[in-house]
Amino acid sequence: MKTKFSQLILPMLVVVFAVTSAFTSHAENKSKSVAIVTGYIQHPGAEEPCEASNQCTTVNTGTFCKVGQIATNPRLWDKNINDECVMPLYRP
């Protein structure tokens, strides 16, 4: 019985552990790859309508990116192809 366990079950457990570890480490690396971009403060009608501020991400993390990451401060935006600050950014 002991040799049957060693010869059959133990190698299967090692393979299951290895496969599980491989998927776990891959998922962890994928979640850390976040696109960091410069967030801009909107100044509608001003000569410079967008002012660079903090670093933000384009990936929706559920929390909007704000100046200094303080909830009461203005939201930050990304520029579109026309250099308008209209694309929402999120806290990294």
Does the pTM surpass 0.75? The reply is no
Tell me what pLDDT residue 34 has: 66
pLDDT at residue 19 above 80? Answer: no
Q: What's the rounded mean pLDDT across residues 64-85?
A: 88
Report d(CA 56, CA 36) in Å as an integer. Answer: 6
* Domain range summary for the chain, segments of one domain joined by +: 1-33, 36-88
Q: What's the rounded mean pLDDT across residues 24-29?
A: 52
Q: What's the rounded mean pLDDT across residues 48-71?
A: 88
| 47 pLDDT tier (thresholds 50, 70, 90) | confident
How far CA 16 is from CA of 2, 7, 26, 46, 76, in Å, comes to 20, 15, 16, 61, 46
Give strand pairing partners of 77.
40, 88
